Homo-oligomer: A and B are copies of this chain.
Amino acid sequence: MNTTDILKSHDIKKTPGRIAIVKALQESELPLSENEIKTQMEEMYDRITFYRNMQVLTSAGIVHKIVIDNTLIKYGLSCDGKEHRHQNEHAHFYCEKCHSVVCLKEVRIPDYQLPSGYKLFDSDIIIKGACEKCSH
Question: Chain A residues in contact with chain B, CB under 8 A?
Answer: 67, 69-71, 73, 91, 93, 96, 104, 106-107, 110, 112-133, 135
Contacts and interface: CB of A to CB of B under 8 A. Distances in A.
A107 B118 contact: no
A124 B116 CA distance: 22
Nearest to A87: B128
7 contacts: A67-B69, A70-B73, A104-B112, A112-B127, A118-B131, A120-B127, A124-B126
Contact of A129 (B113, B120, B133): B120
B113 A96 contact: no
Contacts of A96: 121
Nearest to A110: B110
A115 B132 CA distance: 8
Contacts of A93: 114, 118
A103 to B, nearest CB: 11
A119 B130 CA distance: 5
A91 B122 CA distance: 13
A120 B107 CA distance: 13
Contact of A118 (B113, B120, B135): B135
